[in-house]
Amino acid sequence: MKKQEILKKMEGYALTEFGKTLEECTSKEKYIALSKAVMEEIVPTWINSKQKFEGKKQAYYLSAEFLMGRALTNNLINSKLKSEVEDLLNEINVDYNVIEEAEEDAGLGNGGLGRLAACFLDSGATLDLPLTGYGLRYEFGIFKQSFKDGFQDEDGDNWLQHGDPWSIRKESDSVTVSFADGDVLAVPYDTPIIGYGQNTINTLRLWKSEALNNFDFEEFNNQNYHQSVKEKNDAETISKCLYPNDSNDEGKKLRLKQQYFFVSASLQDLVRKHKEKYSSFDNFSALHSIQLNDTHPAVAIPELMRILTKNEGISWNKAWDIVVKSFAYTNHTLLAEALEQWPVHLYQSLLPTIYEIIVKIDAQLKEELKEKGIKEEELYEYEIISGDCIKMAWLSIYGTSSTNGVAELHTNLLIESELTKWYNLFPKRFNNKTNGITQRRWLLQSNPELAGYITKLLGSDKWITDLTELKKLEKFADDKEALEDFVNIKQTKKDQLADYIEEHEGIKIDRNSIFDIQIKRLHEYKRQLLKAFYILDLYYRLKEQPGFDIHPRTFIFGAKAAPGYFRAKGIIKYINEIAKLINNDKDINGKIKVVFVENYRVSYAEKLFPAADVSEQISTAGKEASGTGNMKFMLNGAPTIGTYDGANVEIVAEAGEENNFIFGLRVEDIEKIKDSYDPKEECEKVKGLKRVVDTLVDGTFTDGDTGMFAELYDSIFKGASWHRPDQYFLMKDFDSYRQAQQEVDEAYKDKVAWARKCWMNMSNAGKFSSDRTIQQYADEIWKIEKA
């Protein structure tokens, strides 16, 4: 694609979209013009990709979240057009970085689940595999976060305010989705997923909800103006916002509508396309492998049964065979409260036909269990409908041919404890698929300096599509020149992050300090509060011992708390109170600083991961299914301080425990002490801990009379109706964590040895590419092949 062609197309879009010359356009308008020019270039390949997979088995990834982030740079890199476009913009005096910053993040996800889905799509296209994503086109993504007096404040994330140049509305593929209270139209928007090298371009199809009739003229004519657009407003609410607050029935009803809406639309889409080519459903499962990304799309199981039995007239038994062979399920959690359940009355009132089918599936399961020798009094342990709840995880296991965990430890725990009874029923269905990340975004794009250096040392860029090539870097682990170059690159990334933080947060940080970073969703089990307690303890020790020698440390947090998650929002406020105390205390002479970045998102993450000196992965052992942030830090050469949890276990196995800092209880330790554990006793025997925890209630900090801090305090020492005291063992792990942090400080003083630890992590990150994960899905679950 010649530069002049790009320029000509950009000028054309500037005129037709904005009625301006390209020079007159704003940065955002130039971004849109450039994106549309690139789209014009890639669409023919996109069409060809669809054609080359016709007639072959394809995989379909159903996910409530796709946390894609920005598209421009990723698409240019994967299309191998980035240098050409940068040269062009430079020639017309346009700063590429300004254009890049003009793009809104496509924040259609809440955290790791959605970002994993995005990485998987990237890998599918890069590996030349037929993988299509299906989800919801939320008008408002994950909220925009700001802090007001230390409290999280949420505002709408109107990412579509200026349109989306990367998606194409496919109105001719619209389908009708029916609820008990009315029908809505599902309109698909297709986004290209460009594989590296642009050999294959797959599709992410997101559904927007619209009214069948947008305007009631008769109501309008009768001056009932609100009523005249009620159907339009009600319908569009379904795809209005990612994860509406579901603390009451109205919120739950909307969430259920979202789940069924995108699942029904997606399955209708697949069935329609199948019927266009085949007169029978005998080969449906031979051509379709449908992955349920957690239980959000689990209603797909009864929905496909509905379509096959009621719409297509297929017998129940034959339809069930098709369903089980077509679907596979990924479990993402060990948290009992996160194993999704739905009140029966919501299904009965909103999806009565689907509920009837679930009742029949549940009855069928019980009959099968009896045939397998399960006693009548034990059936309740397997019931899909239990009391007033529908257990979506049970439905997902029973209605699919595969259930996979997302890290070796996670899968083992599923098999050995959480889902043992199900494993005994269907042992061949259970398998592990350790998560991964795409190195195209998380190294090539976000850390071009290190990416270029890796290519130089290896003499090849093969690692971009085969991350195991990084293992060859081990031979440079004791090469002082290579380590020095690595340290210089890390400092460059730290400088860039420091500039960005100063510009966006108004906080100046010590560029030579240890950048200790914890960035992830705010949840109690991820234990941001443990880190907060440690920071405050360190502050008090520095105050008491002016000669206390530590390397300066900048503690960086990035996280959003779900709007209805009171306790998580209390933790944010608490950390911000600690930051205010420490950052304004001249006595400690800047030895430590605390920064909680606002509105953490994919584009911010791309700056944080490469700059990190320390990766904080401190969840309670057995609670983090996998984690993928840990992999992104590792890939960019940051050692992990963490528990033996999730993918941390495999990271340590690859890079060596001597190159990381593992602390705390392990799963087996927790099992031994959980029934006798007394957090108050533990707190009092650990030096300095009580003083720190008491700041939640002794007036040191203010929570604005919200009761947040007292509630946090009580959660540790009293528990609540739904959990025991200190359910995440902060008091028990505190001293071990403090010791590990001291080890970090000591290790960092030896610059060469520290650089070697970083190097060994980066060199051994090859296993954690999502390319490897997706190839395993393709070979072992989906049974799909390259074109």
Catalytic (active-site) positions: 332, 520-521, 526, 628, 632
Task: Give the DSSP letter string of 8-63.
Answer: HHHHHHHHHHHSS-GGGS-HHHHHHHHHHHHHHHHHHHHHHHHHHTTTS-EEEEE-
When computed from its CA atoms, the radius of gyration of the chain, rounded to whole angstroms, is 27
**DSSP reduced 3-state for 298:** coil
Sign of CA dihedral 214, 220, 222, 224: positive
The angle at the Cα of 287, spanning 281 to 293, to the nearest 5 degrees, equals 110
Using CA atoms, how far apart are residues 524 and 767, in angstroms rounded to an integer?
Answer: 29
Contact of 607 with 509, CB cutoff 8 Å: no
Tokens 């990150």 belong to residue: 765
Contact of 410 with 330, CB cutoff 8 Å: no
> What is the b/e burial string over 251-266, where b = at least 16 CB atoms within 10 angstroms of the residue's CB?
ebbbbbbbbbbbbbbb
State the helix-helix crossing angle for 3-18 and 82-91, rounded to 10 degrees: 70
* CA nearest to 350, candidates 244, 252, 257: 257
Using CA atoms, how far apart are residues 262 and 273, in angstroms rounded to an integer?
Answer: 17
* CA nearest to 628, candidates 736, 767, 447: 767
Contact of 402 with 324, CB cutoff 8 Å: no
Using CA atoms, how far apart are residues 145 and 76, in angstroms rounded to an integer?
Answer: 29
The angle at the Cα of 775, spanning 769 to 781, to the nearest 5 degrees, equals 130
Tokens 């490897």 belong to residue: 772
Helix ranges, 160-215 (H): none
* CA nearest to 664, candidates 597, 616, 735, 718: 735
Length in residues, the chain:
787
* CA nearest to 126, candidates 433, 439, 450: 439
Using CA atoms, how far apart are residues 37 and 41, in angstroms rounded to an integer?
Answer: 7
